[in-house]
Amino acid sequence: MPPSTVPAARPPAALDIGRLALMAIGALLVWELRSILLLGFTSVLIAVTLRAISDPLARRTRVPAGLALAVVILLTLMFVAGALVLFGWRIADQYDAILAKALTGLADISALVNSHALGRNILQWMQGARMDGATAMLTPALGSVLGSVGQGIAYTAIVIASGIFLAIDPGRHLRGVLLVVPAANKPMAEAFLTRSAVILRKWLVSRLIVMITIGVLSSLGLWALGIDGAFTLGIVGGLLTFIPLVGALMAAVPAILVALAQSPLLAVYVGLMYWAVHFIEGTFITPFVQDAEVDLPPVLTMYSTVVFTVLFGASGIFLASPLALLVIVAIQVFYLKTAPLTAGGGREVAPDARTARR
């Protein structure tokens, strides 16, 4: 009898050179386009913020969701435009005064440090040059910043417009993303996107409340202490609170420098005031407005800030926390399989054994 013909076994999928090549090309493309992807993520945050405000408004007033969203978008644009018209000139004037005061305070600190031999040695060790060389180093950096202002304005317009379109019809864009996902992986992809939207909404709502609280309390505290530009410094402090932990320090430094130019004792009072404001926020405000699911441990927050700053540059500082939450959701859905899969109108569907093995 002729020997039976046995079909040759196919090589394991892990050894499929074509698949590995496509994966490598995809990873390289993602890395090269990481800045564009970060802009897209910012648009998603804007869309989630708008829907987080408009959806409760639609439920409570019983108006169509589209009308509620249109009202929120219109009021937001009117508020921003009105604030720029009414307070823009004042903020600009205060900014110039604040910058001058901050530079004066920085010069006082530099003079104090340079008055001691140990201080001079430390500064030279940190900079590798004399103090007057710092100005020459800052000049090209400032030129680069000014040169990128136009590009930043264009990107801002694109991000805002994209965020509005995403907020208007999120379902359509969700379906568009799922079109390029293999059928076997659609449930997990949909679970990831849906879960991410829920988590980001919770985080953004809590951040907005904290930002408003910090901005109001900081402005009142600086005004009570007689600090120049208290209004502008309070707004900056509230906006920087978008960055957990790091933002508090970034907001306090310019205010302390301004106070130092007026009086060293006043600088101490400003530092204590900021500590008291953030103590009130951390003790009484954040625990009531922040869900446990979005409460990142301080160490994870700091290290995620470092990691995403290395990956994305300065923009990574501002988006480190939401990006970290996104990574946690991805691990829960795709690796640990602990997040429930959603289908249709939010019905939870537990992954079966075959899906788990995939």
Q: How confident is the model over 161-203, as pLDDT tens digits?
A: 899 999 998 888 888 888 888 888 888 888 899 899 999 999 9
What whole-number distance in Å separates Cα of residue 85 and Cα of residue 321? 32
| Average pLDDT over all residues of the chain | 76
Tokens representing residue 138 in the block: 């800052």
Identify the pLDDT of residue 259.
82
Q: How confident is the model at residue 123 (pLDDT cuts 50, 70, 90)?
A: low
What whole-number distance in Å separates Cα of residue 75 and Cα of residue 117? 58
Q: How confident is the model over 130-144, as pLDDT tens digits?
A: 444 444 444 444 444
Q: Are 219 and 270 in contact (CB under 8 A)?
A: no
Q: Are 92 and 110 in contact (CB under 8 A)?
A: no
Question: pLDDT over 70 for what percent of the chain?
Answer: 70
Least confident window among 57-66, 67-76, 203-212, 333-342: 333-342
What whole-number distance in Å separates Cα of residue 39 and Cα of residue 152? 11
Least confident window among 26-30, 104-108, 262-266, 287-291: 104-108
Measure CA 235 to chain center. Answer: 17
What is the DSSP pairing of strand 347-349 with strand 341-343? antiparallel
